Structure 1
């Protein structure tokens, strides 16, 4: 196995295990629903198309995800006063409380992933993640 193949295999394994840990923390809602709530909490009301892009889901998947958030009282739909065809999703106080709670839990879990790493390794990871982020920015079409 080449070094690149080892890197790719390890990368996928780590992502899978991280996602499993994160999902364990956000029981009751899906990862996409958490991303939607978090985005609404930080950026305010948004249209379904914006949320679909954020979560990398289809508009149909967003409708399904937001239907559950609305039915559970975590979000509400609000029409645009200037254009009745436009509908925004807005977070409720209950949703804000959940988003903040989950965010804290996910941050704690994520920090555990890096526990025991020397400061020098953390600095290397920051540099590496910044480079990966730059590469991803160049991939956008």
Structure 2
């Protein structure tokens, strides 16, 4: 196995495990649904196409995820006043409370991933993550 193959394998395995850990902390929704709520809480009402682009999910997956959020009362669909064909997803007060209550727990779980790493390794990760971010921004 080449270094690049090993890197990709580890990256996907770690990402999958991280999503699983985050999902175990969420109460009745999955990580993708939580991500949608965080986006709505931070950015305001969004069209499904906007959410699909930001989350890198398919439109069908967005519809499925948002149906559950609406059913649970975390979000609601609202039509555009000027164009009734346009529908926005908006976070509800219940959704805002949920996101805010989970933020600290989410951060605790995330910090657990880096537990035991020496400061030098943390600095290397910060440098690496910044480089990855730069690559994604180009």
* Both structures adopt the same fold (TM-score exceeding 0.5): yes
Rounded to whole Å, the distance in 2 between the matches of 1:81 and 1:119 is: 53
Shift of 1:63: 1.6
Shift of 1:36: 0.8
Alignment-derived partner of residue 55 in structure 1? 55
DSSP 3-state at the match of 2:126: helix
Matched, 1:78 2:88: no
Matched, 1:110 2:110: yes
TM-score normalized by the length of structure 1: 0.87
Shift of 1:61: 1.9
TM-score normalized by the length of structure 2: 0.89
Alignment-derived partner of residue 46 in structure 1? 46
Matched, 1:6 2:29: no
Stretches of structure 2 that go unaligned for 5 or more consecutive residues are none
Rounded to whole Å, the distance in 1 between the matches of 2:34 and 2:123 is: 29
CA RMSD of aligned residues (A): 1.6
Alignment-derived partner of residue 21 in structure 1? 21
Count the aligned residue pairs: 138
